[in-house]
Amino acid sequence: MKPRPDSEEATPEIPEAPPQPASKLRHEPSEPIPSSKLRFDDLHHGNKKSPASGKTGDAALISKTGAASFGTRGASGSTYPKPLKPTELDKLKANATNADAKLSQARAKLAGQKPPAKPGTFGMIGAAIQQEARAKVHSKISETEHENVGVEASHRVGLEVEKTWHASSHSIKRWYRNRISRRVSALTKKNVHAQSKLRLHELSTHHPSLSKGASVKQVQKKVAQKQFQKLAAKKAFDTTRRMLVAVVTAVKKVGAAVMAFVKSNPKLMLVIIILALLVISIMSCVAMVSLVANSLGGMLGATTYPPEDKEMLAAESYYAGLEVELQFILDNYEEMNPDYDAYFYYLDEIWHDPYTLISMLCVMHEGIWTFEDVRGTLDWLFSEQYLLTKSIEIELHYYMEIAVIIDPETGEEYEESYEVEYEYLICIVTLKNRNLSTLPLGLFIGQDMSQMIAYMATLGNRPDLFTLSEYPYASTEYYNHFFAILG
């Protein structure tokens, strides 16, 4: 193939393919496929080095694929280099760039959004005329509606229809106008997700502990440790069982020998047997006392709160502070949200059992913990226990205005009253307390639930940690909030 006259360098000649039989979709062998031409131009003019020999340009390409041909032969006889597959890092960079571009475009569109147009003079005049006519009609109907039940019912239905129409029209306009801001919020989440995945992949190249393989190895290591512990426990059990069998066998043999000796020396052996029984009884009692003491010690350790008192008191104080902040918001809600005409409150009582809180922290954080270790868990538990929501209701209210009208014929002035409609906004505030003592029922199962029950049954062996004088909602040995929920 001859080089193109407008190119700066001559490309290597591509051998022509043998003629192909005619088909429905046919490509002339004399012309290269556009995709192969693009790939070849990228490799030819990109001046990339060959990984094997360090050559550049056509030399690297020919040294790798041969002097007479290069790449892979296509169906039409033309040859082209194999495309390079994108790596995972390239895909993540492309996703992050695409998400950032879409977000920038959406933000620019939001910034360029025009503010809602204010009504003009004619619009305001028309709205005033319409409002005055509607008020006049309603006032005339109100004067005579008590005479006919059907008219009164129809009037009330009409008022409700107007109220629903105004509320729905305002909601639809607000929803349509906020469509761009909703898209910006959605694209922001996608952008943060893409940037986070890219950042994690970059960090994992320098810190292997962040990679998926390292996490899998840690999990496998924990599984292997548990299996080793099970095998060690089984081996100890088998050893103990063999020792018991050996002891029983030896006792039987000694007993047989003693019985034979007793038959030959009955009086002497009777005294020896009595002394032996006394010694065995004493040793059995000592062993039993030691076993009971060890069992009690183990049970005491398993049901006692591991952390220090100052750390547990700090955790309880922090959680109580969150409740104080919530109460402050409720007490000053109207000052913080002054845009409404009326407020209705449906609030549950704010309280929690400190023993339930500390027991849950000890189950979720095994061993000795500090306040800094459980700060995040305290915030999460608070968000799970308390749910503060608000809802807005719109009512149409009316007030009377008096207008002075001059009769154009007589010039006399007289007053006429009419109703003016306005929106009455009602804010409904709801606080739901899910009761901290009910959260373990949905969080813990199996061994964790057994540990939670053990802590609450013994109050962590610290019934003096939270006294009723300072903590009025703390569980006691006479009344336990957790067991009252558990039934």
Q: What is the pLDDT of residue 269?
A: 65
Domain hosting residue 256, numbered range:
212-302
43 and 184 fall within a common domain: no
Residue 263 lies in a domain: yes
- Point out the domain boundary residue: 260, 278, 302: 302
Residue 112 lies in a domain: no
447 and 319 fall within a common domain: yes
Residue 404 lies in a domain: no
Cα 78 to Cα 84: distance, rounded to the nearest angstrom: 19
228 and 187 fall within a common domain: no
3 and 59 fall within a common domain: yes
Residue 265 lies in a domain: yes
Q: What is the pLDDT of residue 313?
A: 93
365 and 446 fall within a common domain: yes
Q: What is the pLDDT of residue 239?
A: 87
188 and 77 fall within a common domain: no
- Point out the domain boundary residue: 210, 229, 255: 210
Residue 185 lies in a domain: yes
441 and 327 fall within a common domain: yes
329 and 296 fall within a common domain: no
Residue 182 lies in a domain: yes
Residue 45 lies in a domain: yes
319 and 429 fall within a common domain: yes
Residue 407 lies in a domain: no
User: Using CB atoms within 10 A of its CB, is residue 312 exposed (0-12), middle (13-18) or buried (19+)?
Assistant: buried
pLDDT tens-place values along the chain, 487 residues long: 444 444 444 444 444 545 555 444 454 555 555 555 444 444 444 444 444 444 444 444 333 444 334 444 444 444 445 554 567 778 888 888 898 898 898 888 888 888 877 777 777 787 778 777 878 787 778 777 777 777 778 878 888 888 888 788 878 888 888 888 888 889 888 888 888 888 877 777 766 655 555 555 666 677 777 777 888 888 888 888 888 888 888 888 887 877 776 677 776 667 777 777 777 777 777 656 555 544 444 455 578 899 999 999 999 999 999 999 999 999 999 999 998 989 999 999 999 999 999 999 999 998 899 999 999 999 999 999 999 999 999 988 888 888 778 878 887 887 878 788 888 899 999 999 998 988 888 888 888 888 899 898 888 888 889 988 889 889 887 788 888 877 6
Number of domains in the chain: 4
- Point out the domain boundary residue: 166, 189, 210: 210
Q: What is the pLDDT of residue 143?
A: 76
156 and 16 fall within a common domain: no
230 and 201 fall within a common domain: no
158 and 71 fall within a common domain: no
Q: What is the pLDDT of residue 214?
A: 57
